[in-house]
Amino acid sequence: MKDILLDKSYAELCALVAEAGEKPFRARQLSEGLLHGKKLSELPVSSALRARLAEQFEEEPVRIERVFTARDGTQKFLFALADGNLIEGVLMKYKYGNTQCVSTQVGCRMGCKFCASTLGGLVRNLTAGEILGQIVAVNRLAGGGLKEKRAVTNVVLMGSGEPFDNYENVVRFLRNVTDGEGFGMSARNISLSTCGLADKMRRFAEEGIPLNLTVSLHAVTDAERARTMPVANAFSIREILDACTLYFERTGRRYIFEYSLIAGENADMVHADALADLLRGRPCHVNLIRLNAVKERSLRAADERMAQAFLKRLLSRGISATLRRSMGSDIGGACGQLRASYLESKKSGEPKA
């Protein structure tokens, strides 16, 4: 694979343009073209510069291969990378704006038992530009602008992959996407979800990027957590909570816990009470969601009544919590499901999603 131009910060693009002996205003044109989702051959720069760039950089690092639209308007995308790998993403439409869910790795090696992204293990990390490339491609397809009328107003790093297992590239992406000279998205409109790599969480706190830090908790004790999340053998809930505290101290941002309700596993009232005890007094919010059952896995979702009771119990104990509705479930909304079914269908006919 050639290099990816969208990996570069605005300052690096300026240096590249200067090195090529071009006038400084070319850097602005180059940056805006890239952020509008243009291919290399479409960039509004001199043909000499374009030819020079084409020697070193990919023509189209992230291409939208397929789009699936659900009844509720949620769109699911299958992206093809320059080396032929496939990743997926989702655009969810809310009253206040559109949230895009992006991937940070091809596959994942964290091994969570309920998650489809990890079924084939980790293939490779995405570069910063391949993460940003998902956003600019979707924004372009939806006819969005750059500084105004953006079609993608919020971003969540909750697609395939563990962001902190690809730390350097993810932080580079975050710096570039929030750069006022670049895409200029506010960090407050970005959520990063981690399965709880506490060492990287501590390191991230020191970067001082004030986004919405989200931790996939899904259990109230380390032993129970280890049943569905192997990462629990490496980092305890205590270490995770301490890292959250550090993040709050450094950024002033409250943090969020994801808790997927799994029948017979973590969804009883004793779990709700234990969760309330664990989080009491913390500046945090709990996002409950009913497990989105993956066909390759035997785990079952808690039913709606149990989920409502769980929510009620948390609220009555003074914990800030919401039960998220599942979106786009008719098109395979959960992590890794679309890619998995697409890869399978390549062997036998049409995708199921």
Question: From the list 135, 288, 335, 338, which residue makes contact with ligand SAH (rule: CB under 6 A)?
Answer: 335
CB atoms within 10 A of CB 25: 9
Rounded to 5 degrees, what angle do the CA atoms 20, 23, 25 make? 120
Helix axes 198-207, 167-178, angle to 10 degrees: 30
SS3 260: strand
If the CB atoms of residues 243 and 335 are measured against ligand SAH, the closer one turns out to be: 335
CB-wise, 240 or 334, nearer to ligand SAH? Answer: 334
Please identify which residue in 62, 138, 334, 338 interacts with ligand SAH, judged by CB under 6 A. Answer: 334
Q: Which residues pair with 256 in a beta bridge?
A: 214, 285
Give the one residue of 100, 127, 260, 266 binding ligand SAH; rule: CB under 6 A: 260
Q: Is 216 in the site for ligand SAH (CB under 6 A)?
A: yes
Nearer to ligand SAH, 58 or 258 (CB): 258
Q: Which residues contact 94 (CB under 8 A, 6 or more apart)?
A: none
For position 261 contacting ligand SAH by CB under 6 A, the verdict is no
The closest of 126, 130, 146 to 33, measured between CA atoms, is 146
Q: Which is nearer to ligand SAH, 276 or 334 (CB)?
A: 334
- Annotated catalytic residue: which of 22, 58, 88, 130? 88
- Which of 176, 193, 251, 266 lies at the binding interface for ligand SAH (CB under 6 A)? 193
Contact call for residue 115 and ligand SAH (CB under 6 A): yes
Cβ nearer to ligand SAH, comparing 134 with 260: 260
CA-wise closest residue to 302 among 288, 287, 290, 286: 290
Token pair of 82, please?
């320059």
Residue 22 catalytic? no
Distance CA 73, CA 71 (A): 5
- Going by C-beta distance under 8 Å and a sequence separation of 6 or more, which residues neighbour residue 267? 261, 302, 306, 307, 310
Strands 284-290, 190-194: pairing kind? unpaired
Position 105 contacts ligand SAH (CB under 6 A)? no
Of 7-15, 139-147, 273-281, 291-299, the segment contacting ligand SAH by CB under 6 A is 291-299
* Residue 68 or 114 with smaller CB distance to ligand SAH: 114
* Tokens found for residue 134: 């998902």
Q: Is 335 a catalytic residue?
A: yes
Contact between 158 and ligand SAH (CB under 6 A)?
A: yes
Stretch that binds ligand SAH, among 7-15, 91-99, 191-199, 316-324 (CB under 6 A): 191-199
Element (H, E) at 173: helix 167-178
Tokens representing 120? 């084939």
Instruction: Report the residue from 81, 219, 291, 319 that binds ligand SAH according to the rule CB under 6 A.
Output: 291
**For residue 61, which amino acid is it?**
P
What are the residues facing 289 on neighbouring strands? 260
101, 108, 195, 335: the catalytic one is 335
Q: Does 292 bind ligand SAH (CB under 6 A)?
A: yes
* Positions that interact with ligand SAH (CB under 6 A): 112, 114-115, 158, 162, 193-195, 216, 258, 260, 289, 291-292, 294, 334-335
Active site residues: 88, 335
